[in-house]
Amino acid sequence: MRVLMLAPPGGGKGTQGTRLATALGVEHISSGDLLRAAVAEDTPLGRRVDEYLKDGRLAPDELVAEAIRPLLATRADYVLDGFPRKLSQTEGVDFDVVVYLDVPDAVVTQRLLGRGRADDREDVIAERLRQYDADTRPLVDYYEERGVLLRVDGDRPEAAIADELQQKVA
């Protein structure tokens, strides 16, 4: 089973993606984790990505695709978060289920401010939410039209969300 987790930044896609992957017995793949690992390992890709991340910007599409597409090509089942981020990235990437964690902007802002990452500042968060609304939110309609979207209220306790996902996806 191939599952995509969609949510705004700080919306819980990593947390819930990990829990769901464990319940399904499949790998959880996070594009953000892959990019941060590339930076930490000082790979050529990581050095290019770092130029964006150190300024609080998202890595451009082509760098994210360079990190994730080869991995997806070798996996039959997974829970993925962080890719695709735009309609232009959906080509050739199909999912059995797309989970959309619906979380209000005010809630994700508070979550991000409390996370402790160096790039989680109010100005950076506001820009990420603006980018999410412009680029990623259209994916919700795209996957809904294809009949694979599962909307979930993401403004609840983690365990309640995980229970719902396990009942509806697993």
DSSP string, 103-152: --HHHHHHHHHTT--TT--HHHHHHHHHHIIIIITHHHHHHHHTT-EEEE
Q: Are 143 and 98 in contact (CB under 8 A)?
A: yes
The reply to whether 14 sits in an annotated binding site is yes
The reply to whether 104 sits in an annotated binding site is no
The reply to whether 92 sits in an annotated binding site is no
The reply to whether 47 sits in an annotated binding site is no
Q: Are 142 and 154 in contact (CB under 8 A)?
A: no
The reply to whether 12 sits in an annotated binding site is yes
The reply to whether 83 sits in an annotated binding site is yes
Tokens coding 14:
């990593």
What is the Cα–Cα distance from 61 to 63, expressed in whole angstroms?
A: 6
The reply to whether 128 sits in an annotated binding site is yes
The reply to whether 114 sits in an annotated binding site is no
Tokens coding 84:
């695709």
The reply to whether 116 sits in an annotated binding site is no
State the binding site for AMP. Answer: 31, 36, 82-85, 89, 117, 128
State the binding site for ATP. Answer: 10-15, 115, 156
State the binding site. Answer: 10-15, 31, 36, 82-85, 89, 115, 117, 128, 156
